[in-house]
Structure 1
Amino acid sequence: MGRRSDHSRAELEALILDEGHKLLAEVGFARFSGREVAKRIGYTVGTLYNIFGSYDVLLATINTRTFEQWAAHLERQLAQDNGDRIASLVEGYFSFATQHPNLWMAIYDHRLPADGVIPEILAERRGVLTDIVVREVEAILPADAREKAPRLARSLVATVHGHCTFALNGSFALLGETDPPEMATARVKESLAAAGAHM
């Protein structure tokens, strides 16, 4: 039997997110199940959708928590101040993905329906990650090029993402590449240099 009266709505939302995030980290997107989350917390699956509205919003909310953890990971990486903040960003991207592969891949494996829209509050919370990259790129661009930072940052993230995906799925190993983070860092710095960045 469900424990419908055991928790307030806010407590229940936190409980679902905590257990959903744990389950996603354990089994990955393909084996994730709202029904399993409900079973683990002792409620019915209907309760999950009553709280979040749909399976897609539940997944989007769980993935948003991953974005926030990833952003915090990048900030910690930057705080170590090794003298090369761009290399630190790239290393932070790779290390988070390597340490949390199921959570990282779930961000990209989950797709909203064609008519689906992510709630604005989730989009804002996810944006913190990109904001970090934009901030670091903007800081090294000449003043007359700083308005290009958001677009350039998105392109650089895509570059690093491709390298990271190839590293995690074994493609680079098959190609004999032994240091994907170094390769990604080199490509990023080439793009930044072409944009006039001072590194």
Structure 2
Amino acid sequence: MARRSDHTRPELRELILAEAHRLMAEVGYAHFSAREVAKRIGYSIGTIYNVFGSLDLLVVAVNSRTVGLWAATARARLNEAGANRIAALVEGYFDFAERNQNLWMAIYDHHMPEGETFSSDYVEQLGELIGIVETEIVGLLPQLGSGEAGTLTRSLLATVHGHCVFALNGTFALLGVHDPRHVALARVREALAAASGNVPP
């Protein structure tokens, strides 16, 4: 295994991040540790903290990479969606979560300590993902102001997220709901119809 002198700082950062992302995918947030990442790459845990600053910032970097992959997946879905673009986004949400459960849940399981902020890269990646959805909503409802469109976008994301969580943790099956994707899409379409003025609020 190469040591410190064999890697530039950017190379070392990528080495750590790539392995941390693989580990998160394997074990999930609850079992993730910087010590295991260090062990896998043959460096000390101090090296990881020297490069990233803290375990929290390493997790944020991992989550940022996951969000970037998610955004790329969403764009690819839309490129193949034809006219059924909202359905493609909802299906894509479920598919990404199902195929990357540990990475996906880490985004929501991790919380920054009080007084600390997320990295600008993470905020940018998250904004890009939300922007993909918001662009589609604005295309459907051009009469909405930017503030209204942004609020609706985040509300719809929360709706789909809740349905997805219930699907993955078995709650919907317990409650007798066997097609959560269809149900989630129906709620999204109802909300869009209400926002368009086609149905009473």
TM-score, normalised on structure 1? 0.95
The count of residues paired between Structure 1 and Structure 2 equals: 197
Partners of 1:171 and 1:15 in 2: how far apart?
A: 38
Structure 1 portions without partners, runs of 5+: none
* Structure 1 position 2, deviation (Å): 8.0
Where does residue 120 of structure 1 map in the other structure?
A: 120
Which whole-Å CA distance do the structure 1 matches of 2:197 and 2:49 have between them? 47
1:35 aligns with 2:22: no
Q: Contact (CA 8 Å) 2:64, 2:121: kept in 1 or not?
A: no
Q: Which residue identity does 1:49 align to in structure 2?
A: Y
SS of the residue 2:30 aligns to = coil
C-alpha separation in 1, matches of 2:104 and 2:117 = 21
- For 1:3, give the aligned amino acid: R
Instruction: Give me the whole-angstrom Cα distance separating, in 2, the residues matched to 1:172 and 1:185.
Output: 15
Runs (5+) with no aligned partner, structure 2: none
Matches within 5 A, 1:20-169: 20-143=20-143, 145-147=144-146, 148-169=148-169
CA deviations on 1:10-66 (whole Å, 9 max, x unpaired) are 000000110000000000001101000011001001101100111101000100000
Distance 1:49 1:71 in 2: 28
SS of equivalent to 1:5: helix
CA distance in 2, matches of 1:142, 1:197: 12
The equivalent residue for 1:13 is 13
- CA offset digits 1:113-148 (Å, max 9, x no partner): 1111012232112211101011011100033x1421
CA distance 1:57–1:197, change in 2 (3 Å): farther
Runs (4+) of structure 1 moved beyond 3 Å? none
How far does residue 83 in structure 1 lie from its aligned partner after superposition?
2.4
CA–CA distance in structure 1, aligned partners of residues 121 and 169 of structure 2: 32
Separation in 1, partners of 2:30, 2:42 = 22
**1:155-197 deviation line (CA, Å, top 9, x unaligned):** 0000000000000000001111111111000001101111107
* Number of the residue aligned with 2:175: 175
SS in structure 1 of the partner of residue 6 of structure 2: coil
d(CA) in 1 for partners of 2:114 and 2:73? 31
Cα deviation, 1:81-134, whole Å, max 9, x if unaligned, reads: 242111111000000000000000010111111111012232112211101011
Identity %: 55
Instruction: Give the whole-Å Cα distance in 1 for the aligned partners of 2:33 and 2:188.
Output: 37
